[in-house]
Structure 1
């Protein structure tokens, strides 16, 4: 090989290329480790009505490793999405030493259980309920039922609208029985869904009878049990009235 000029030239070119690549690599490592590329600023914008940006920024900084070139954007995004109220975060680099973060808040729809909130999309999240501007309806149910409970709220809102009342509380029990408390103070037991029409039919029967019931017992109906096949039971002013031909509950 040492007597072959062509092969010698090829070897020389390869060694030269390797040397140049090594120099470039070393220069690159040196460059990205320069202090001017150390992350020095996090710009936060977007939907931040309930988000304290200085607090979020300070809390996330400790989770960020690396500089402008080496920081993991997925890790940074996940760190922001762990903060209260943050539903979604997008993160991008801003030359030469900053990150730009756009946040999207959860839109609270109601409270869930003792210490959580549920969004308009039926997602559960944890946040300080003292930061809420309005009174929200209260929901509760077994694990994994938040979306179903929120959807049923809208049904109850429509079905009981003729009573000039809105649902204030919607609860799905561990036995999957529904209870609704209306803004007029009436608590309604609807029971379990036997089919897709069960709740609607029971609600419609009660709403249709509402003028007769309130005409006889007044508008302060404290409790209504709709779980009867052909009627319902109510409690008003300490009295109990049964409108049913078959007392056996479903």
Structure 2
């Protein structure tokens, strides 16, 4: 090899190239460690109705590691998504020392159980309920049923709109029996769904008879039991009335 000029030139060029790479890497490492690239700003955009930007910055900045070049964007995104009210976050770098964060908030539809909220998409989340702008309907149900309860809430809302009432509470029991409380004070016992039309049929039966019921018993109907095949029972002003359309056993 030592007598081969071509091989010597090749080896020398390779060493020069390696040295250049080492110097370039060292220079690059030195450059990216300069204080100029330390993260100094977090720009927050998107949904911030329930999010205080200074609080978000104060809570997250201490968990971010690295600078403009070395910060892990996926880890940063996860930190933002752990904040109350934050459903989704996207994070990108802004030259030379900033991060831009776009936040998407949960849209609260109602409360869930004792200490959670449920979104319009049927997703459960935890946040300070004192930050709510208005009183929300109350929902509850077994684990994994939030989407189903939200979907049924929309049905009840549509069905009872002709009566000028809206559901304030929707509960699915551990036995999967439905109970609804309306804004007019009426609590309605539906029981379990026997088929996809069970709740719709029972609601229609009550709504169609509502005018006659209130004319006879007054508008303060405290309770309606719809767990009868063709009729229903009501309680109003201390009275109990069972519809004459069906004396059969409740289902």
TM-score with structure 1 setting the length: 0.97
Per-residue CA distance 1:65-111 (angstroms, 9 max, x = gap): 11110000011011001101111111111111111111111111111
Instruction: Give the match for residue 212 of structure 1.
Output: 212
Q: Which runs of 4+ in 1 moved over 4 A?
A: none
CA distance in 1, matches of 2:62, 2:172: 41
CA distance in 2, matches of 1:105, 1:200: 33
Instruction: Give the match for residue 177 of structure 1.
Output: 177
CA positional deviation for 1:160 = 1.4
CA distance in 1, matches of 2:201, 2:148: 19
* 1:88–1:104 CA contact under 8 A, matched in 2: yes
Q: For structure 2, list consecutive stretches of 5 or more residues without a partner in the other structure.
A: none
CA positional deviation for 1:123 = 1.0
* 1:41–1:98 CA contact under 8 A, matched in 2: yes
- Confirm or deny that 1:193 pairs with 2:193: yes
Instruction: Give the match for residue 24 of structure 2.
Output: 24
After superposing the two structures, state which structure 1 stretch, 129-138 or 196-205, moved more: 129-138
Per-residue CA distance 1:93-147 (angstroms, 9 max, x = gap): 1111111111111111111111111111111111111111111111111111111
Instruction: Give the match for residue 133 of structure 1.
Output: 133
CA positional deviation for 1:213 = 1.0
Instruction: Give the match for residue 84 of structure 1.
Output: 84
Per-residue CA distance 1:174-233 (angstroms, 9 max, x = gap): 111111000000000111111100110011111111111111110100000101112111
Instruction: Give the match for residue 248 of structure 2.
Output: 247
* 1:229–1:246 CA contact under 8 A, matched in 2: no
- The number of aligned residues is 250
Instruction: Give the match for residue 63 of structure 1.
Output: 63
Instruction: Give the match for residue 73 of structure 2.
Output: 73
**Pairing of 1:46-61 with structure 2 (within 5 A):** 46-61=46-61
Instruction: Give the match for residue 37 of structure 1.
Output: 37
CA distance in 1, matches of 2:163, 2:190: 16
CA positional deviation for 1:248 = 1.1
* 1:122–1:147 CA contact under 8 A, matched in 2: yes
CA distance in 2, matches of 1:111, 1:80: 23
CA positional deviation for 1:153 = 0.6
- Confirm or deny that 1:123 pairs with 2:123: yes
Q: What RMSD, in angstroms, separates the aligned Cα atoms of the two structures?
A: 1.0
Q: For structure 1, list consecutive stretches of 5 or more residues without a partner in the other structure.
A: none
Per-residue CA distance 1:35-78 (angstroms, 9 max, x = gap): 11111111112211110111111000121011110000011011
CA distance in 2, matches of 1:226, 1:144: 26
CA distance in 2, matches of 1:138, 1:59: 30
CA positional deviation for 1:246 = 3.5
